[in-house]
Amino acid sequence: MTDNLDNVLLIALADRALDKFIVGEHFYFQEAKVDTQEPQNVMAAFDLVLDYWKKTKDETFPRKFATAMLKALGTYPDKNRAINVVAVWIWYYRHCLAQKKSNPEGIYGDLFEMSTAGVAGALKHELEVNKDELINDTRWAGESWNSKQGLWEPLMRVAVGVRDKLGGPDFVPDNL
């Protein structure tokens, strides 16, 4: 990790704007090298998180990270964006933890452990409350090439995958 102004994670931490980094607000957005649009390139953003962790072992970071996801879910003006991105963050974090368990000497071998149960509970609630809006939102993974029910369908795939394949927290809505 470089300790310069090009590292948006360091800036987000210094500015107490980790929630904006999570949702990919303009300044904190990490561009994806793909043909489809995403609100935040979680994989590239997670590389910054992992690099920061490896270099600092900042014991306060996991709590700050989970708190920022909760803040995004609770206060971000574009509710569907926050829901979508937080779900992907949880999925990718659980994917990296699975990699850590299968290859402890690999790139994720010293990945921090954090509870995502509280975030998952809030995410589940937001999914249930915002179901209709998510079905009608055809941005990002909700585009017609990927879904017949807007963001709802891909979010359900993520939720079920986290629970059933990655051993993660259950945020599958009761009104599935």
The closest of 150, 155, 124 to 135, measured between CA atoms, is 150
**Residue 170, domain member (yes or no):** no
**Residue 77, domain member (yes or no):** yes
**Residue 110, domain member (yes or no):** yes
pLDDT in tens, 85-142: 999 999 999 999 999 999 999 999 999 999 999 999 999 999 999 999 999 999 999 9
**Residue 127, domain member (yes or no):** yes
The whole domain housing 138 covers: 8-164
**Residue 3, domain member (yes or no):** no
- Dmax over CA atoms of the chain, in Å, equals 46
**Residue 175, domain member (yes or no):** no
pLDDT in tens, 32-84: 776 678 899 999 999 999 999 999 999 999 999 999 999 999 999 999 999 99
Its pTM stands at 0.94
- Tokens matching residue 60: 């306060």
**Residue 174, domain member (yes or no):** no
Number of domains in the chain: 1
**Residue 28, domain member (yes or no):** yes
